[in-house]
Chains A and B, each alone.
Chain A
Amino acid sequence: MKHIKIHEEYCIGCRLCEINCLVKHSHTGKIIKAFKEESPRAFPRIRVEEEGCLSFALQCRHCEDAPCVENCMTGAMRRDKENATVLCDEEKCVGCWMCIMSCPCGVIKREKKTRRIASKCDLCGGVDEPVCVAHCPNEALTYE
């Protein structure tokens, strides 16, 4: 399975990954509409962590022994059989937030503005290159 690799030494903290992730997960998929017209606004599943001159973009690591999958009581959080990514089945999610509590990286978020479901990186649904990687201006994220 391909992973998004983080190169924190080249992360420039521009947050274009967050912006493009938000657009990718918006209704229209158009950047200006996603920000100006959609309400509630979609939110990014990637987050740039920053302190001093250190910064890096973090998203779901799709762990091999994913605690969120183990702890999900409804089976919403599951491992995709085809490409081994960890995905959340929104139909099954009841919003108990066990996944959030057990995630070692803190990369699962509550999509509570719309529905009570857990939301996380889905690797853009099996594309060749997730948008955060494709739009990183400094190749601080690579998909390999």
Chain B
Amino acid sequence: MARSLLFPEFKIERDKERCIACQVCVRQCANDVHEGSDTEDTVVSQEEKCVGCQRCVNLCPTNALTVQTRKDGFRPNGNWEDRHLRGIYKQAETGGILLTGMGCDRLYPVYWDHLLLNASQVTNPSIDPLREPIELTTYLGKKEEKLDIHWEGDSPVVRTRLAPQLGLEVPVIFSAMSYGSISYNAFRSLAEAAREAGTFCNSGEGGLHPDFYPFGENIIVQVASGRFGVHRDYLRVAAAVEIKIGQGAKPGIGGHLPGEKVSKEISRTRKIPLESDAISPAPHHDIYSIEDLERLVFAIKEAINYEKPVAVKIAAVHNVAAIASGVVRAGADIVTIDGIRGGTGAAPQVIRDNVGIPIELALAQVDERLRLEGIRHHSSLLIAGGIRSSADVIKAIALGADAVYVGTAALVGLGCHLCQKCYTGKCNWGIATQDPVLTKRLNPNIGRRRLVNLLRAWAFEIKEMLGGMGVNAIESLRGNREHLRAVGLSREECSVLGVKAAGEGW
């Protein structure tokens, strides 16, 4: 066999003074990087297979291991970066599309990091969230143009029939990750955390396992192009239904869950034969226009008796504002927009890293377009794709979002170390795998606790920031871009974002 030109991406350093040859690293690596010996007290590592997930480093009881990115040693070249060379070597060997997982990791500008928040000084009072209530409750769904209120004696009666709403205690929802792309235990952690924290998790396009039907009040179910697991009870058990048109990590292309991963439980959940490939086509084969989308939206609304909101998820692409306007007019109660940094379990690297636009720009444009057209209240805006902290959440809301989806952040909360190997099914952290040896590694009781803690911490931080701005309800911040200022951005970027440069007053 011709020798591979690839060399290890990571360097494993084992401190011989510290290594006690206990073989925890050997037992924990699903990639068989470490090898123990029955006769001697030594462990050796084969770096070629290391993916840099840091599982062995985390569990080593003597801190004997360090896994670092290996310095390539390629002659420095401003044009030909290491990733280009590696990509070419790999493709010249395999002849295939390069696959990857998680969100785009390229150094495109992250606009959240160029936006700064305001605070109250002298002329308006700030609020101490520990002393005064600050409201984070958010309702997603169509808002009425006006309310017909009728007085019966002293008590008001609302005559307008209100559109169904999703009530969130904190404006953060766990985004769509299907059972299949993530493990049963990971899904259970998300569902239980959503229920405990008063928010929602999204089932993803892979159907809903019967065990999770009792969590229906906190689950948004997805209807995607593959229609996996979609049936009457699936739609009716959920709090809302989301039609997935596109995904930020791979706009314009479909999905493929390899047959090896379609286990008994997954085949039962997705309603497809055991070990058959689960293929989501790139388009919905019955949606070729806004009018077609409208038909599906209302078909689902009929099925759920107009009792729950219907969302439509699109990826942030160049003409996103006009598309979102069409989606609103098609009857979506919630529009979800997923930016280029949105995650995935598997996508061609070239698509993930080169297709779509950052969510900040898409959000600003969509919010503005819907306002100008006077239809912003017809739908709530949910955004996804690269929300990393409570600061990103509050900036997104100030830019015009009603709430945000977090996927990667939630998985990181569960232990993900962003090694981007989700597509291999060998997730050492027990998240993106169906291997029964590996899925056990995520204890959903721990997972739930960690996710609830994360949301609790973010809620506290959001309240602190709101209090500092002198705003006592997150609703009052929504779309209020006067609370944002840009640093280090061009005039064009400021104008697309609709944000003034730092230093400019009212």
Across chains A and B, the number of contacting residue pairs, with CB separation under 8 Å, is: 54
Binds A, one of B350-358, B435-443, B485-493: B435-443
- Check if B138 is an interface residue, CB within 8 A of chain A: no
Q: Is the interface of B mostly helix, strand, loop or mixed?
A: loop
If A15-B27, A16-B61 touch, does A138 touch B441 (CB 8 Å cutoff)? yes
If A138-B443, A139-B443 touch, does A12 touch B22 (CB 8 Å cutoff)? no
Among A11, A31, A135, A138, the residue within 8 A (CB) of B20 is A31
If A137-B59, A139-B445 touch, does A14 touch B20 (CB 8 Å cutoff)? no
- Whether A16 lies near B18 (C-beta < 8 A) is no
B-facing mask of A7-26, CB < 8 A → 1, else 0?
Answer: 10111111110011000000
- Whether A32 lies near B20 (C-beta < 8 A) is yes
**Which residues of B (258-276) have their CB < 8 Å from a CB of A?**
none
A-facing mask of B427-468, CB < 8 A → 1, else 0?
Answer: 000100001110011110110000000000000000000000
Docked complex Cα distance between A6 and B394 (Å): 43
If A16-B24, A137-B59 touch, does A32 touch B18 (CB 8 Å cutoff)? yes
- Check if A53 is an interface residue, CB within 8 A of chain B: yes
**Which residues of B (12-35) have their CB < 8 Å from a CB of A?**
17-18, 20-24, 27-28
- Whether B445 lies near A32 (C-beta < 8 A) is no
- Whether B440 lies near A53 (C-beta < 8 A) is yes
- Check if A112 is an interface residue, CB within 8 A of chain B: no
CB-CB under 8 A from A16, the residues of chain B are 24, 59, 61
Among B23, B28, B41, the residue within 8 A (CB) of A12 is B28
- Check if B62 is an interface residue, CB within 8 A of chain A: yes
Give chain A nearest CB distance to B54 CB in angstroms. 13
CB-CB under 8 A from B59, the residues of chain A are 14, 16, 137
**Which residues of B (44-79) have their CB < 8 Å from a CB of A?**
59, 61-62
Size of the B side of the interface (Cβ < 8 Å), in residues, is 23
- Whether B440 lies near A19 (C-beta < 8 A) is no
Whose C-beta in chain A lies nearest to the C-beta of B439?
A: A53
Interface range, A side:
20 to 34
- Check if A113 is an interface residue, CB within 8 A of chain B: no
- Whether B27 lies near A140 (C-beta < 8 A) is no
- Greatest chain B CB density within 10 A among A12, A31, A32, A139 is at A12
If A12-B28, A14-B27, A32-B18 touch, does A53 touch B436 (CB 8 Å cutoff)? yes
Give chain A nearest CB distance to B16 CB in angstroms. 10
19 further contact pairs, Cβ within 8 A, besides A16-B59, A31-B62? A7-B443, A10-B440, A12-B28, A12-B430, A12-B440, A13-B437, A14-B24, A14-B28, A14-B59, A15-B24, A32-B18, A35-B41, A36-B20, A53-B437, A137-B59, A138-B442, A138-B443, A139-B446, A140-B443
B residues with a Cβ closer than 8 A to A are: 17-18, 20-24, 27-28, 41, 59, 61-62, 430, 435-437, 440-443, 445-446
A-B CB proximity, top 9 nearest: A35-B20, A53-B436, A10-B443, A53-B437, A12-B441, A138-B443, A19-B22, A14-B24, A139-B443
> Can you list 12 A-B pairs with a CB-CB distance of less than 8 A?
A10-B443, A15-B24, A16-B24, A19-B20, A31-B62, A32-B17, A35-B21, A35-B22, A53-B435, A53-B437, A137-B59, A138-B446
A residues with a Cβ closer than 8 A to B are: 7, 9-16, 19-20, 31-32, 35-36, 53, 135, 137-140
